């Protein structure tokens, strides 16, 4: 792709580095002030039930209002058609309740009492119930941590194999930058952390990696086409050449997730919100963080590439 003039992204690199550090500090300080992460039922003891209310013409708002007076912080999502009056309710046990033997009955009983006080005795029918005990929640935390770390390790090994050291190191920093910021933001806004949150983080890492590799491939191609060109000018050219592809891809994902965010509730809405922010951050890091850092790590010079092997007339490598 030919461009008349490259945009000077690299001239802003120090401002962008400072902005990234400032944003990460702000969100993690915010997380600390909020008392840490808001762990959901996937990582703490708690109860998830699908219920049906048969009296009082219940709505999602009235069910939430009824459970708001309970001792537990219940989240409510509609299930099926509105006329069915089916809802999924979820609540996490408090620290004092974590060792209670009949914890499932305790939380379920409090939910039942709150709902029947609002909609009448016998109005609640439990269709499905799932309980996460203390031991299982701890096991899920360990398993999820190892799965996430393993996925990140495989991605980093792939980058190391695909590119030279300077490329790989810059890509690794950009990849670490994105999930650290998103995790801090999730903690700061007190969004519930579930297995869907881990899926968001891994999706963002994969998306950011894809953007970064596209830019790096174009940089590597331009090194061969524009030998002797200043490296910062060369990466500006590469980023400008891939900019339309990057923005169109990002906008497509954002529009799709915006629809999910507007028309859904609960954990799916949180997933869409986190993914929208993550795509924006991933696009930002692939443009302003990864490529300039690659040049910095290579000392302002083009990373050395292997010379292509000569091919003889009979098609055999010399």
| Every domain of the chain and the residues it spans | 9-37+137-297, 46-132
Backbone angles phi, psi at 70, to 5 degrees: -75, 165
What integer best gives the mean pLDDT of the chain? 79
* Bridge pairing between strands 86-92 and 46-53: antiparallel
Indicate the CATH number for domain 9-37+137-297: 1.20.1640.10
Question: What distances in angstroms separate CA 56 from CA 51, 80, 134, one per listed residue?
Answer: 14, 18, 35
Q: Which pTM does this prediction carry?
A: 0.71
Quote the distance between the C-alpha of residue 130 and its chain's center.
Answer: 26
Length of the chain, please?
A: 318
Span 277-291, pLDDT tens digits? 989 998 998 889 888
Do 75 and 191 form a contact (C-beta atoms < 8 A)? no
pLDDT tens figures, 222-268 = 888 887 778 888 888 989 988 888 899 899 999 999 998 888 776 78
For 46-132, CATH number out of 2.60.40.1220, 3.30.70.100, 3.40.50.1820, 3.40.47.10 equals: 3.30.70.100
The reply to whether 46-132 shares the fold of 9-37+137-297 is no
Q: CB-based burial of residue 56 (10 Å sphere; 0-12 exposed, 13-18 middle, 19+ buried)?
A: middle
């Amino acid at each position: 792709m030919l461009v008349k003039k490259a945009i000077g992204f690299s001239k802003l690199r120090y401002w962008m580095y400072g902005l990234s550090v400032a944003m990460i500090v702000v969100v993690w300080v915010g997380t600390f002030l909020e008392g840490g992460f808001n762990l959901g039922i996937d990582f703490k003891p708690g109860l998830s039930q699908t219920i049906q209310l048969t009296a009082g013409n219940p709505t999602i708002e009235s069910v939430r209002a009824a459970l708001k007076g309970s001792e537990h912080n219940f989240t409510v999502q509609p299930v099926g058609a509105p006329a069915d009056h089916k809802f999924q309710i979820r609540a996490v046990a408090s620290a004092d309740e974590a060792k209670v033997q009949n914890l499932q009955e305790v939380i379920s009983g409090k939910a039942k009492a709150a709902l029947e006080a609002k909609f009448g005795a016998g109005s609640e029918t439990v269709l499905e119930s799932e309980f996460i005990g203390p031991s299982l929640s701890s096991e899920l935390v360990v398993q999820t941590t190892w799965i996430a770390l393993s996925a990140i390790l495989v991605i980093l090994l792939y980058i190391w194999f695909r590119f030279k050291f300077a490329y790989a190191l810059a890509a690794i920093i950009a990849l670490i930058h994105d999930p650290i910021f998103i995790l801090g933001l999730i903690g700061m806004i007190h969004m519930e952390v579930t297995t869907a949150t881990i899926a968001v983080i891994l999706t963002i890492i994969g998306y950011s990696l894809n953007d970064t590799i596209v830019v790096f491939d174009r940089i590597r191609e331009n090194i061969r086409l524009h030998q002797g060109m200043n490296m910062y000018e060369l990466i500006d050219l590469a980023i400008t050449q891939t900019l339309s592809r990057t923005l169109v891809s990002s906008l497509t994902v954002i529009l799709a997730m915006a629809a999910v965010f507007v028309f859904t509730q609960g954990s799916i809405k949180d997933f869409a919100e986190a993914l929208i922010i993550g795509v924006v951050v991933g696009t930002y890091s692939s443009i302003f963080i990864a490529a300039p850092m690659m040049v910095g790590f290579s000392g302002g010079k083009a990373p050395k590439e292997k010379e292509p092997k000569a091919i003889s007339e009979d098609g055999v490598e010399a």
